[in-house]
Structures are given as C-alpha cells and as structure tokens.
Amino acid sequence: MGQVTLFLTILAMVVQLDSGRPVPWTRPIAEQSGTMAAAASPLDFEVFRTKVQPILTSPRKGNARCTACHSRGGGNAYLEPLSPGSTTYTEEQSRRNFERVQRLVVPGEPLKSPLLTNPLAEEAGGSHWHGGGKHWQSQDSPEWQTLAAWVRGN
C-alpha cells in the first residue's frame, strides 16, 4: 500500500470514528473474528486494574507514558484522561479503560494483540506500528510479561 493510500485510509477511519459510526477495529479483535461473544470477556478486570493499568500510566525512560498519547482523543485514545492532580484512576474510569483496552487484545494470544506488539521492538516480534517508540526491546521485559500473562489469562 502506498503512503498516500495508507494516509487516506487512516484519515477515513479517524473521520468515521469521530462521526460515531462503527469502525471495524473499534470492536474487540476477538469479536471481529467471531470467536467471542460481545458480552463475555475472558480477561480479568481486577488483574487489569491492579497490574496492567499501572503499566500504562507509569513513566517511561526515553519515552512518554502511554497515557500521554493514548488519552487525548482521536483514533488512538483508548485510555481515560487522569483527573487533574490524580495519579490513579477511579473505579469507573478503570472500567471504561478495561472496555477500551480489550479492543487491543486477542485473549490467549499476546503476539496477536496490538497492546503488546505495537510497543514491542520488531526484532522481538513486535509490529512496525507505534509512533510513540518501542517500550520493550524483548518479550522478557517484566512489564511485557505481565501484560502477556493477563492476555493469556494467567
């Protein structure tokens, strides 16, 4: 796909997302493939709230926190903005984050889950996407392992 075509495709998705019309990639990935009922999730909310979400809000040496880019609106915003002066999310915000982050996960398949592959170095099995840098150079990173365990249901 040429750069212009890719740009126009992304632009069309963002415009469609902002218009409120459904965009295929805004549904959970597993739901898109028909492998999961929309109402049920094999992902654990408490593990998300206590182990995954803190990774998404933690400072990144050499990179921004995930919340710096992914809570500002637009097509890549899947996290709630933190309330002014707050360093943690409320229960309600955490539940909304959980619902949104599930869209970036294929339960049981860390290497098919953009939440894990986009910020992972390509040489370690990550995708070429993610303008915010590569947070993990290896699948052995403790943070990556925590996210992978949550995706696997461990």
pLDDT of residue 24: 43
The percent of residues in the chain predicted with pLDDT above 70, rounded, is: 71
Q: What token pair was written down for 81?
A: 């903005």
pLDDT of residue 105: 95
Instruction: Count CB atoms within 10 A of the CB of residue 27.
Output: 13
pLDDT digits (tens, 9 = 90+) for 33-77: 444 433 467 999 999 999 999 998 888 777 777 777 788 776 678
pLDDT at 13 over 60: no
Q: Residue 128: which residues within 8 A CB-CB, separation 6 or more?
A: 122
DSSP 108-141: T-GGG-HHHHTTB-GGGT--S--TT--SBSSTT-
pTM here?
0.69
Give the model's confidence band at 135: pLDDT under 50 very low, under 70 low, under 90 confident, else very high. Answer: confident
Q: What is the C-alpha to C-alpha distance for residues 109 and 120, in angstroms, rounded to an integer?
A: 15
The least confident of 34-43, 108-117, 141-150 is 34-43
pLDDT of residue 3: 56
Q: What is the C-alpha to C-alpha distance for residues 32 and 149, in angstroms, rounded to an integer?
A: 22
13: left (phi over 0), alpha (psi -120 to 50) or beta: alpha
Q: Which amino acid is at 20?
A: G
pLDDT of residue 91: 95
